[in-house]
Amino acid sequence: MTVRVGIIGDRGRMGAMLRRRLEEAGHDTGGADLPLDAEALSRACKNAEVVFLCVPAAVLEETARKAAPHMPESCALADITSVKMLPVRAMERAWSGPVVGTHPLFGPKTVSERYAVTVTPGRGWKEGEALPEQDAGAVRLVEELFASLGWSSFRCSPETHDRAMASIQGLNYITSLAYFAMLSRKPELLPFLTPSFERRKEAARTMLTSDSAMFAGIFAANPMSQEAVREFRSYLNVAAGGDIEVLAELAKGWFPE
């Protein structure tokens, strides 16, 4: 199966990786990046069966509206942002055809045995519901594309996705940010640093330096972020109350014997 795929944002890290992997798998691709003029978009979207928007969530709707006039009527519109509720709604406003949200759960340089992608059908789809035929075909096409790259995929609603990522991705960023922000005001701690602290610091270095703006944007764009922070705060309150054993037992769930 050879699919014609348009990649808008094909010079970004994820867009370039996606286009390269698609071409290596034998698919026909067209790409466009800034400046997104009509000529570039027309070339990228010509005869496309699916167009991927590989742009930040903040500019996704504007980009979708620019691309829409150049897309074939039967084309599916997809994205790869790390949040799904707002981007999926933005694509639905910009495009009357099938909309498929996706989120590769890895970065452009990830080396892993498991490349997983969430697929979030649009038009108000919920888990357990049947998809309208037009949307079902678009979702299957996107899933088959990912399969041809050796990636696994699973479906969930945009709401389910964002709630999960607020905990997995958002809290990882915001709690690390708060932790190191607090410690940065305590230079007297420097003589006391331990190997375990240094490991945590190095693990957080890229996220809190070169990638901080990206993670901050993801946190801000996820409607579930504040709910996750409030839930986490309740666990900190348990610690502040001295019930460490309760937290320790719960945390062991991640480390089965």
Q: pLDDT for 37-92, tens place per residue? A: 999 999 999 999 999 999 999 999 999 999 999 999 999 999 999 999 999 999 99
Between CA 29 and CA 34, with CA 33 as vertex, the angle to 5 degrees is: 165
**pLDDT tens digits for range 156-169:** 999 999 999 999 99
Domain 4-156 grouped into CATH 3.40.630.30: no
CB 95 within 8 A of CB 68: yes
CB 52 within 8 A of CB 28: no
Which pLDDT value is given to residue 256? 87
Which pLDDT value is given to residue 124? 85
The DSSP letter of residue 52 is E
Which pLDDT value is given to residue 113? 80
Q: What is the mean pLDDT of the chain?
A: 95
Q: For the chain, how long is the longest CA-to-CA vector? A: 64
- For 69-88, give one letter per residue: b (16+ CB within 10 A) or e: ebbeeebbbbbbbbbbbbbb
CB 163 within 8 A of CB 222: no
By C-alpha distance, which of 165, 173, 250, 154 is closest to 215? 173
Strand partners, 102: 119
Sorting pLDDT into bands at 50, 70 and 90, what band is 190? very high
**pLDDT tens digits for range 114-141:** 899 999 999 888 898 898 877 899 999 9
